[in-house]
Amino acid sequence: MPSVENYDQTRVVPRRCVQWLLDRLLVSVPAFALLVVLVITLWGHRSLLFLPPTAFIVGLLVGNLLIDVWVPHRTGGRTPAMRWLGLRIVTEWGGTPTLGSYALRWLLQVVDGFAFGLAGLLVMILSPRHQRVGDLVARTLVVRVSADGPRSRP
Protein backbone atom coordinates (compact mmCIF):
# COMPACT_ATOMS: atom_id res chain seq x y z
CA MET A 1 0.00 0.00 0.00
CA PRO A 2 1.50 3.38 -0.96
CA SER A 3 2.34 5.82 1.77
CA VAL A 4 0.68 9.20 1.97
CA GLU A 5 4.22 10.57 1.86
CA ASN A 6 4.18 9.83 -1.89
CA TYR A 7 1.45 12.40 -2.41
CA ASP A 8 1.65 16.16 -2.58
CA GLN A 9 0.76 18.08 0.49
CA THR A 10 -2.87 18.13 1.52
CA ARG A 11 -2.95 21.93 1.23
CA VAL A 12 -5.69 21.88 -1.35
CA VAL A 13 -8.48 23.78 0.42
CA PRO A 14 -9.13 26.26 -2.44
CA ARG A 15 -9.15 23.41 -4.97
CA ARG A 16 -11.51 21.44 -2.76
CA CYS A 17 -13.91 24.38 -2.62
CA VAL A 18 -13.89 24.68 -6.42
CA GLN A 19 -14.24 20.91 -6.72
CA TRP A 20 -17.24 20.91 -4.41
CA LEU A 21 -18.93 23.67 -6.42
CA LEU A 22 -18.27 21.93 -9.75
CA ASP A 23 -19.57 18.59 -8.50
CA ARG A 24 -22.69 20.28 -7.09
CA LEU A 25 -23.28 21.93 -10.48
CA LEU A 26 -22.99 18.54 -12.19
CA VAL A 27 -25.82 17.31 -9.98
CA SER A 28 -27.94 20.46 -9.72
CA VAL A 29 -28.24 21.39 -13.38
CA PRO A 30 -29.85 18.09 -14.49
CA ALA A 31 -32.06 18.04 -11.38
CA PHE A 32 -33.22 21.59 -12.08
CA ALA A 33 -33.86 20.72 -15.73
CA LEU A 34 -35.99 17.79 -14.58
CA LEU A 35 -37.90 20.13 -12.27
CA VAL A 36 -38.63 22.57 -15.08
CA VAL A 37 -39.72 19.83 -17.49
CA LEU A 38 -42.02 18.28 -14.91
CA VAL A 39 -43.57 21.61 -13.94
CA ILE A 40 -44.27 22.44 -17.58
CA THR A 41 -45.61 18.96 -18.27
CA LEU A 42 -47.83 18.76 -15.20
CA TRP A 43 -48.96 22.40 -15.04
CA GLY A 44 -52.59 21.66 -15.87
CA HIS A 45 -52.83 18.81 -13.36
CA ARG A 46 -52.89 20.53 -10.00
CA SER A 47 -53.20 17.25 -8.12
CA LEU A 48 -49.80 16.16 -9.50
CA LEU A 49 -47.86 19.35 -8.79
CA PHE A 50 -46.22 17.71 -5.77
CA LEU A 51 -44.22 15.53 -8.18
CA PRO A 52 -41.79 18.14 -9.57
CA PRO A 53 -40.34 19.23 -6.22
CA THR A 54 -40.26 15.63 -5.04
CA ALA A 55 -38.42 14.55 -8.19
CA PHE A 56 -36.04 17.50 -7.79
CA ILE A 57 -35.16 16.55 -4.21
CA VAL A 58 -34.78 12.87 -5.08
CA GLY A 59 -32.67 13.83 -8.10
CA LEU A 60 -30.38 15.93 -5.92
CA LEU A 61 -30.08 13.19 -3.31
CA VAL A 62 -29.38 10.40 -5.79
CA GLY A 63 -27.08 12.59 -7.88
CA ASN A 64 -25.01 13.60 -4.88
CA LEU A 65 -24.86 10.01 -3.69
CA LEU A 66 -23.58 8.93 -7.10
CA ILE A 67 -21.05 11.77 -7.43
CA ASP A 68 -19.70 11.54 -3.89
CA VAL A 69 -19.85 7.80 -3.19
CA TRP A 70 -20.26 5.58 -6.24
CA VAL A 71 -18.10 7.48 -8.75
CA PRO A 72 -15.06 7.80 -6.44
CA HIS A 73 -15.43 4.17 -5.43
CA ARG A 74 -15.38 3.08 -9.08
CA THR A 75 -12.71 5.54 -10.32
CA GLY A 76 -9.95 5.30 -7.75
CA GLY A 77 -11.04 8.06 -5.39
CA ARG A 78 -11.97 10.82 -7.81
CA THR A 79 -15.18 12.66 -8.52
CA PRO A 80 -15.43 14.25 -11.97
CA ALA A 81 -14.30 17.63 -10.63
CA MET A 82 -11.47 16.00 -8.66
CA ARG A 83 -10.23 14.49 -11.90
CA TRP A 84 -10.29 17.93 -13.58
CA LEU A 85 -8.51 19.59 -10.66
CA GLY A 86 -5.94 16.88 -9.93
CA LEU A 87 -7.32 15.70 -6.59
CA ARG A 88 -7.87 12.24 -5.14
CA ILE A 89 -9.34 10.75 -1.98
CA VAL A 90 -7.03 8.35 -0.16
CA THR A 91 -6.98 6.75 3.27
CA GLU A 92 -4.70 8.23 5.91
CA TRP A 93 -2.29 5.42 5.03
CA GLY A 94 -2.32 6.19 1.30
CA GLY A 95 -4.60 3.36 0.23
CA THR A 96 -7.92 3.30 -1.54
CA PRO A 97 -10.92 4.03 0.70
CA THR A 98 -13.72 1.50 1.00
CA LEU A 99 -17.25 2.10 -0.20
CA GLY A 100 -18.18 2.53 3.46
CA SER A 101 -15.58 5.29 3.86
CA TYR A 102 -17.03 7.17 0.90
CA ALA A 103 -20.54 6.73 2.30
CA LEU A 104 -19.45 7.98 5.72
CA ARG A 105 -17.82 11.05 4.16
CA TRP A 106 -21.03 11.71 2.23
CA LEU A 107 -23.29 11.33 5.26
CA LEU A 108 -21.17 13.73 7.28
CA GLN A 109 -21.60 16.46 4.69
CA VAL A 110 -24.60 17.35 6.84
CA VAL A 111 -22.17 18.39 9.58
CA ASP A 112 -19.71 19.98 7.15
CA GLY A 113 -22.53 21.91 5.51
CA PHE A 114 -23.64 23.56 8.75
CA ALA A 115 -23.83 27.36 8.47
CA PHE A 116 -23.74 27.23 4.66
CA GLY A 117 -20.56 25.16 4.62
CA LEU A 118 -18.57 27.36 6.97
CA ALA A 119 -18.24 24.56 9.52
CA GLY A 120 -16.56 22.25 7.01
CA LEU A 121 -14.41 25.04 5.63
CA LEU A 122 -13.20 26.05 9.09
CA VAL A 123 -12.42 22.46 10.02
CA MET A 124 -10.47 22.03 6.76
CA ILE A 125 -8.51 25.22 7.34
CA LEU A 126 -7.76 24.45 10.99
CA SER A 127 -7.03 20.72 10.84
CA PRO A 128 -3.35 19.85 10.32
CA ARG A 129 -3.99 17.79 7.17
CA HIS A 130 -6.86 19.97 5.92
CA GLN A 131 -9.54 17.36 6.52
CA ARG A 132 -13.21 18.16 6.88
CA VAL A 133 -15.32 16.37 9.50
CA GLY A 134 -16.25 13.62 7.04
CA ASP A 135 -12.58 13.01 6.28
CA LEU A 136 -11.62 12.94 9.95
CA VAL A 137 -14.26 10.36 10.81
CA ALA A 138 -13.70 8.24 7.67
CA ARG A 139 -9.92 8.58 8.09
CA THR A 140 -9.41 9.88 4.58
CA LEU A 141 -7.42 12.68 2.98
CA VAL A 142 -7.85 14.63 -0.21
CA VAL A 143 -4.49 14.99 -1.91
CA ARG A 144 -3.13 16.59 -5.04
CA VAL A 145 -1.96 14.18 -7.72
CA SER A 146 -0.41 14.62 -11.13
CA ALA A 147 -1.82 13.24 -14.36
CA ASP A 148 0.81 10.48 -14.20
CA GLY A 149 -0.11 9.47 -10.68
CA PRO A 150 1.06 10.56 -7.26
CA ARG A 151 3.87 13.09 -7.06
CA SER A 152 6.50 13.15 -4.36
CA ARG A 153 6.44 15.88 -1.79
CA PRO A 154 8.94 18.67 -2.41
Please report which helix (H) or strand (E) contains residue 30, including its range: helix 13-42
Domain ranges in the chain are 4-144
What pLDDT score was predicted for residue 58?
A: 94
Cα–Cα distance for residue pair 39/26, rounded to 1 Å: 21
pLDDT, the chain, mean: 88
Q: Provide the Cα torsion 97, 90, 115, 60; round to 10°.
A: -50
Inform me whether the pLDDT recorded for 1 exceeds 80.
Answer: no
**Least confident stretch, 10-14, 21-25, 65-69, 94-98:** 10-14
Rounded to an integer, what is the distance from CA 118 to the centroid of its chain? 16
Inform me whether the pLDDT recorded for 153 exceeds 60.
Answer: no
pLDDT in tens, 128-142: 999 999 999 999 999
pLDDT bucket at 117, cuts 50 / 70 / 90: confident
Beta bridge partners of 140: 91
Inform me whether the pLDDT recorded for 11 exceeds 50.
Answer: yes
Beta bridge partners of 144: 87
